Structure 1
Amino acid sequence: MTVYPQLPQVAVFDTSFHQSLPEHAYRYAVPEHLYRDHGVRRYGFHGTSHRYVSHRAAEIAGLSIGDSSWLSAHLGNGCSTCAIVDGQSRDTSMGLTPLEGLAMGTRSGDIDPNLHSHLASTLGWSLEEITRVLNSESGLKGLSGLSNDMRALEQAREQGHPGATLAIEVFCYRLAKSLAAMSCALPQLDGLIFTGGIGENSPLIRSKTVAHLKLFDLAIDKEANARCIRGIAGPIHKYGHTRILVVPTNEERQIALDTLALLN
């Protein structure tokens, strides 16, 4: 600011896309003063990615973003789902912090809220230690006892590693449960979007997740699913079934577009 006092500086927040959540989606069932005085509510993250891929999905499908409804799964070391209606976020899996929601690379995702008390009373763990374990030693890494890298886990699964097999099963089942829950916010389902490092590159994770969602008339075309890796976008659903798209995210582009819109 000292060197370039006239240069505009723009901050694009990952939470901003989720500011359109209705109150019944962002409020926790805790005493009202915690929300009013301390901002304890659900904020959500990965908003820049969910916003970008929902717009791209509408373009690919030939639909108007202002008249379409999507389920979006951003899957990387951090993971979240989102329900998007007419270009606006209506619900998302992450909350006050990025720990809420899906099982992730090293994050536990949803747990019994009383686990903190249980670990403190039975193991004598401090709040700091519990927080560290749930954020840095859990998720795929904790379940597998091997790695937080899905590529390594898929390879180990092929070799019969039980921890890697379990981690993948839990990951896909929890993801499918979250997507089913997100559907409560949709008036209709125009398609399911997979994005992020895992979502864009793992046919296995996509197929195992969709296998849990038969009630949504979702079914994957094996050849199309295998083809959509390493930046290749496109539909992967069987003909006649609900749309499923692989859409590589581009958060940098979305930030640039948001910046240009603000400057204009």
Structure 2
Amino acid sequence: DNNELITALKQASDTHRLRKENHELVEKLEEQNKILLAKEAELKTLNAELEKKVEERTHELSKANARLSELAMTDPLTKLLNRRSFFEKFDHEIERSRRYNHPICIAMIDVDHFKLFNDMEGHPLGDEALKRVANLLKANIRKIDVLCRYGGEEFCLVMPETDVTTGLEICERLRNAIETTVFQGSEQKAYLTISIGISGFPEDGQNRGDLIQMADQALYAAKKAGRNRVVSGQHNASFFVS
């Protein structure tokens, strides 16, 4: 009858409308999902860029801190250890040698007549000469050795697991390396020499102060004897090439 037909038509219309609404809703959901996925991709990109910037900044800070640490530990002219850092390593080597019953050889090294060279050639060439001396010393020691600029034209060297006899041989190699090197003067080539005094642990002292004092006395003896030589005060041994 008519009522049933009307009801059927209404149901069909409702079904069509619901299908249409459902289709539109699905399309909206799909569109929102696309937007969400795009936002997630954008967020991932931003996070990756942020992580990269943080990593780069952390690396820069790490390099800066390492540089500051290096500056705090080294002499600005020669790039060798400064006295404070050297003393820390020196004390550590003494304790280690005492624990394992190993010898240490200590050398005080001084550039002969350096004030005269500085006055004649000028401070810029004097600084260059000191850097050259430092590089030559560093190139002729072992990896285990500890070298510092002690002050002015003076250097100090700690040779772990080394007795005085071996220390004399090492220091003679250093002396010869400096003596045979041509340095740049203001008008002509120049030559420098070094005097070295050495002491040994444990026979010459039980602490840093005593060992440096003994090496200093040997250095004074080397200079008094004519310079350009290696002297061990306690053992009355020396090297000299005329």
TM-score, length-normalised on structure 2? 0.26
Who wins on radius of gyration, i.e. which is larger?
Answer: 2
Q: Select the structure that is richer in strand.
A: 2
Q: Select the structure that is richer in helix.
A: 2
